[in-house]
Amino acid sequence: MRSFARKLLVLIPALALSAAMSKSAASQARAPSPAVDATVPFRVGEVLTYDVSWSRMLSAGTATLSVKDRLSLAGGQNAYDLIAEAKPGFLVRNLYPVYYKLESYLETKSLLPIRATMYSEEKTRKRTKTTKFTSPTSIEYEYATASVSRSTKAIERMTRDPLSLFYVIRGMSLAPGQQITLPFVDSGNMYKLTVKVGNYEKITTKAGTYRALHLTPSFSDASGKPVTDRKLSLWISDDPKHLPIRFESTLFVGSFVLNLIHVDG
């Protein structure tokens, strides 16, 4: 879970890949889907750019969330191609070069993931983690470095990967006082995300001034044990786009902040 927490701090959620999926992965048996695409607040071509800073002072890099395409896959499925990337700024890149990229195929009708990939570079270390959602209750997980390991694992129904889960939350109708709990899988392991919905607040960034809901996420493992004691906050705009405006996480020293600075599409 430490790797997921690090990705979340860098990418918003949740928080980071691969090229096109194979036809066999796309055509695996799935739960019946609705006849039309689900209503979502995003569209193909949307690119959200964030400044990543430490304690709101030192710029550490940039992060982007993008809806790259709507793909037609084997088996009559269609999917949104969701991508999140994080790149360090000049200072961080020279001290500790890192790069993260996540990609998720989110089925357009059920809003359940088909395949999720996370690629990371940390100095000279390169890793790829691939999760194929082969049925509503199972996944195939692959971890690749210099060698490759594969495993098949059981999951709860309605389980998503961190990136697709983030986009699904964007589409929910939330109101102050609500609390939702959702399952997700990361690195082949099951977790629970609980989101407490706070009050509306005015948030100003370089992208503009927004009325936004203050969300407080927390994470637990399959047994219900908390996996981090860091305080996390997310603000989502109270408008039809439900834009993620700001993300904050406390650190051992200071805080980690992502601020929306530009919206395309």
Domain ranges across the chain: 2-264
Nearest to 23 by CA among 95, 55, 71, 70: 71
Per-residue DSSP letter, 75: G
Number of residues that make up the chain: 265
Nearest to 187 by CA among 146, 155, 232: 155
Mean pLDDT by 10 residues, the chain (265 residues): 41 34 34 75 97 72 94 92 84 64 97 96 90 97 96 96 96 95 95 96 96 96 88 95 93 77 95
102-128: b (≥16 Cβ within 10 Å) or e: bbbbbbbbbbbbbbbbbbbeeeeeeeb
Whole-number pLDDT of residue 77? 92
Question: Across-strand partners of 209?
Answer: 204
Can you give the C-alpha Rg of the chain in angstroms? 18
Whole-number pLDDT of residue 89? 63
Whole-number pLDDT of residue 123? 79
Q: What distance in Å separates the CA atoms of residue 60 and residue 36, rounded to the nearest whole number? A: 41
Whole-number pLDDT of residue 74? 86
Whole-number pLDDT of residue 255? 74
**Residue 136 CB burial class (10 angstroms; 0-12, 13-18, ≥19):** middle
The residue behind tokens 């408008």 is: 239
Q: What distance in Å separates the CA atoms of residue 10 and residue 197, rounded to the nearest whole number? A: 22
* Concatenated DSSP letters of 112-180: -EEEEEEEEEETTEEEEEEEEEEETTEEEEEEESSSEEEEEEE--TT-B-HHHHHHHHHTS---TT-EE
Whole-number pLDDT of residue 150? 97
Whole-number pLDDT of residue 170? 95
> Under DSSP, is residue 125 helix (H, G, I), strand (E, B) or coil?
strand
10 phi/psi in degrees, rounded to 5: -90, -35
Whole-number pLDDT of residue 168? 96
**pTM for the model:** 0.84
Q: What distance in Å separates the CA atoms of residue 62 and residue 178, rounded to the nearest whole number? A: 31
Whole-number pLDDT of residue 205? 95
Asked if residue 195 lies in contact with residue 184, where contact means CB atoms within 8 angstroms, the answer is: no
148 phi/psi in degrees, rounded to 5: -130, 135
Q: What distance in Å separates the CA atoms of residue 213 and residue 203, rounded to the nearest whole number? A: 10
